[in-house]
Amino acid sequence: MLNKKGFTLIEAIIAILIFSIGIIAVNAMQNSAIMGNLAARQISEASKYAADQLETLMNVSYASIVDTDGDGINGIDDKTVSTADGNTVSPDGLYNIYWNIVENYPVQDAKMIRVIVPSLNANGNDVVLNSIRIPNN
């Protein structure tokens, strides 16, 4: 009887095929992780810019916070230059920042402030922060 040692060509090809499928799966997982990290970074940056703008609006005089287009609660979600009550661009130039004011909401003499930073991705979620400002007596 012959003493067989080593692998046949078929066994080697099957082993390489199984290894290749594993490498492709790891590559797909890595790409997914990279995209998830990018989305998380963008949300973090947008949240920072929204918080900075909301803090700015909370620190200006009460009288200077106005619903410039008079659309009240109907315009609270406006996020274009022509429809929002105010807008600016982030220092890095990547994010548009919009804010809307609703006067006498939710109670008389209160002003609701909503800051919106739209997602950089077409299917992403916007960052939205709300606050209520009341006059200092």
The pLDDT-based confidence of 59 (bands split at 50, 70, 90) is very high
What does pTM read for this prediction? 0.83
pLDDT tens for residues 15-55? Answer: 999 999 999 999 999 999 999 999 999 999 999 999 999 99
With a pLDDT cut of 70, the percent of the chain lying above it is 96
Asked if residue 99 lies in contact with residue 89, where contact means CB atoms within 8 angstroms, the answer is: no
Find tokens 């620190």 and name the residue.
59
Residue closest to 98 by CA, chosen among 77, 112, 124? 77
Domain parsing of the chain, residue ranges: 9-133
